[in-house]
A and B are shown apart, each in its own frame.
Chain A
């Protein structure tokens, strides 16, 4: 059986094998065509949507990443601004505090000044009262002296105003009254 040339023998062997396995060249060709059709069909039906899906996923991921970045940025901004607000608030608080201190100081100054003037007025008043008291005592003493002297005068005059003195006194009185009423 293997008398033929090697090639022929090989070929015939293969053909023979094919024959025995029921494979024909046309069958192979048909299978090939089948494969091509299958491949193309699969490509169109399966691969493309999968690819598309993957692409979409990728895009989504990218978008999320971008959003993340944006958010980060925002957070950073917020942090910045809050820091700024805080410092401003601190500044403002300092100003307010300053103002309050100023107001308080002025008020305190006023109160102290007021108290001082009041104290001064009190002292002055007390001094004046003491002076008045002293004056009053003096007048009291004067009054006493005057009373005593007048009492003495009465006693003495009761005896000594008489005769000529009395006459002169009456004369003077009458003359003065006449002058006053006529002049």
Chain B
């Protein structure tokens, strides 16, 4: 499915600690990806966004707020 050269892009709101790095590494490994590029963007308010190829896993606080807003 995913090629080896594929790298995951991870966005977090603050500098990740080792725990997070480890969990994310395991997560992306399951999806055939062994590199992760980290970006720190306080604008997502918290949580994490992982992008692997076409797939996007959006667990940011901002997107949750957006979802709630759209639902209201």
Partners in one complex: yes
A residues at B contact (CB < 8 Å): 142-143, 146-147, 150, 153-154, 157-158, 161-162, 165-167, 169-174, 177-178
Closest-by-CB residue of B relative to A165 is B46
Chain A residues within an 8 Å CB radius of B13: 161-162, 166
Within 8 A of A (CB), among B46-66: 46-48, 57, 59, 61-62, 65
Counting chain B residues whose Cβ lies within 8 A of the other chain, the interface size class is 20 to 34
Task: Quote the shortest CB–CB distance from A149 to chain B (angstroms).
Answer: 9
Task: Report Cα–Cα, A146/B69, bound state, in Å.
Answer: 7
Task: Report Cα–Cα, A165/B61, bound state, in Å.
Answer: 11
Closest-by-CB residue of A relative to B10 is A170
Inter-chain contact A143/B48, CB cutoff 8 Å: no
Closest-by-CB residue of A relative to B49 is A173
Task: Quote the shortest CB–CB distance from A152 to chain B (angstroms).
Answer: 11
Task: Report Cα–Cα, A98/B54, bound state, in Å.
Answer: 84
Inter-chain contact A169/B72, CB cutoff 8 Å: no
Task: Report Cα–Cα, A165/B20, bound state, in Å.
Answer: 12
Chain A residues within an 8 Å CB radius of B19: 167
Within 8 A of A (CB), among B1-43: 12-14, 17, 19-20, 23-24, 27, 30, 42
Given A146-B69, A147-B69, A150-B65, A170-B42 contact (CB < 8 Å):
no
B residues at A contact (CB < 8 Å): 12-14, 17, 19-20, 23-24, 27, 30, 42, 45-48, 57, 59, 61-62, 65, 68-69, 72
Task: Report Cα–Cα, A173/B46, bound state, in Å.
Answer: 12
Task: Quote the shortest CB–CB distance from A138 to chain B (angstroms).
Answer: 12
Task: Report Cα–Cα, A174/B48, bound state, in Å.
Answer: 9
Inter-chain contact B27/A154, CB cutoff 8 Å: no
Chain B residues within an 8 Å CB radius of A146: 68-69, 72
Inter-chain contact A177/B27, CB cutoff 8 Å: yes
Chain A residues within an 8 Å CB radius of B61: 157, 161, 169
Inter-chain contact A162/B14, CB cutoff 8 Å: yes
Known: A150-B68, A167-B17, A174-B23. 13 other contacts (CB 8 A): A146-B72, A150-B65, A157-B46, A157-B61, A161-B13, A161-B45, A166-B14, A170-B23, A170-B47, A171-B23, A173-B48, A173-B59, A178-B30
